[in-house]
Amino acid sequence: MTGREPRTFPFSDPVGLAIDPVFAELRENEPVSRIRLPHGGDAWLLTRYADNRALLTDRRFSRAAAAGPAVPRLTVEPAGGSALSMMDGAEHARLRRLVAPAFSARRIEGLRPRIEQLTDDLLTAMLEEGPPAELLEAFALPLPITVIWELLGVPTANRDHFTGLASRLLSSTAYTREQVRDAVDELSDYLADVIAERRADPGDDLLSALVHARDVDDRLSELELVTLCGSLLGAGYENVANAVANFTVLLTEDETLAPRLRAEPGLVPTAVEEMLRYAMSGLGVSAPRIALEDVEISGVLIRRGEAVFASLPSANHDPDVFADPGRVDLDRKPAGHLAFGHGPHLCLGAVLARVELRAALTALVLRVPGLRLAVPVDEVPWKLGLTVRGPRALPVTW
C-alpha cells in the first residue's frame, strides 16, 4: 500500500482534449497509486508507459475476474462475463477467432472504396447544405455508424433509436442503474429480433456468419451472440465518431496542422497516429483487471484479488517514451502508442478505425480548407457523465 488516501476518479470533468495534469504528477511521483471509482470502491492505477504495456500482456491479471457487481468500475451497471472484453485465455480466443476474419487487414482494405465514397458523399451533402453545420450529426457519426452496420449486415431503420439506447450503456453518472438496465433489456430485445431476421434470411455479412457459428457449429452461446453483436455495433461507431470530432478540435486549436497536411497529404497516416496518441480518450482508464496472485509493480505490492486499471492516455503522454508529449508533432514517429491497447485485447477494429480516420481527416483538410469552429472553443458542449470523451455537438463553419 502507498499509505495515501485514494484520489477520487475521474480527476476532473472530461472537457477538452488536454490530459489532466494529475496524470503527470502521478507518473513522476506515484506511478502506482490508489483511486476511488464512482462505483465499486477503490483500485490501483498505473500511469507509466512501461507498467501499462506490461500489464496488458500479464496473465497474472484477469479481465474475466472483473465481471460482477463488487468490482471497482466507471460504469453504473457491472460488466457481464459474456462480453468479449471480459474474457481471458481460451474463452477470449474462441470468440475473437469468430470475428477476427471480418476485421482482417485484407477484408478492411476491400472496404476502403466504400468508406472513401461514403466520406465523400457525407461531406458533399454537408457542404451543399452550407455553413454552419453540426459536424457530429452531418459527418462524424453517420460515417462509422454506416460502415459498421453494413459490415455486420444490420438493417438501418432503427439506427437512431439504437444509438440513443447504446449511449446509456456508457453511463458513469449520467443515468441511473434503472435507466441503464431498461436500456440493456430493450437493446437485447432489439438485437434478438435482428438475429431472428438473419436466421430467416442469411446474407454475406458478419452477423449471418455469427448466427451460423451459433446454430450450426455451436461455437458460441445465444447470450454470447447477442452480447457480441451489441458490442460490435456500439464500439464500432462511438470511438471513431469521437475521434473524428476530437481531430477537428485539434485542427482548430493548432492552425498549423491543416495547412501542413494539405501541403503533404502523405502525412495523414502519421497525423492519425499522433492525434490518437495525443487526444485524451475516455476518462483515462481501461477496463479493470483483477490480480490472480500477489504482484509487485514499480516497487508497490498489489495483492491477489485487488483491481488494477491501466491508463493508456497517461502512457501515451509519458515523456520517457514520447518527447514533448503535450503537443501534436507531425514529425514524430508515434509507433508504439497504446490508444488501441496492446496484447490479447488489442482493439479488434483498429485496422478499420485507421482506414476510417485517414479517410475522414484527408477529406476534412482537403475539401473544407476553411473549416473552423462556429463557436468559441469554450462554448463547445462536451459529453458528461459517460465513460467516453468528446464533444456532445460540434458546430463548425468554413
Give the predicted TM-score (pTM) of the model. Answer: 0.95
Q: What's 14's domain CATH number?
A: 1.10.630.10
Tell me the sheet residues that pair with 372: 397
pLDDT in tens, 44-78: 999 999 999 999 999 999 999 999 889 999 999 88
pLDDT digits (tens, 9 = 90+) for 130-140: 999 999 999 99
Adjacent-strand bridge partners of 289: 308
Q: How many domains does the chain have?
A: 1
Count other C-beta atoms under 10 Å from residue 299's C-beta. Answer: 8
pLDDT at 376 over 70: yes
The range of the structural domain enclosing residue 70 comes to 7-397
pLDDT reported for residue 334: 66
**Percent of the chain topping pLDDT 90:** 89
Dihedral Cα 373, 374, 376, 380, nearest 10 deg: -80
pLDDT, the chain, mean: 94
Residue 254 counted as domain residue: yes
Radius of gyration of the chain (CA): 21
- Does the residue 1 lie in any domain? no
Asked if residue 286 is part of any domain, the answer here is: yes
Is residue 2 one of the residues assigned to a domain?
Answer: no
End-to-end CA distance of the chain: 54
What pLDDT is attached to residue 1? 47
Does 89 map to a domain? yes
Q: How many CA atoms lie within 13 A of 211 on its CB side?
A: 21
Q: Could you tell me whether strands 289-291 and 307-310 are parallel, antiparallel, or unpaired per DSSP bridges?
A: antiparallel
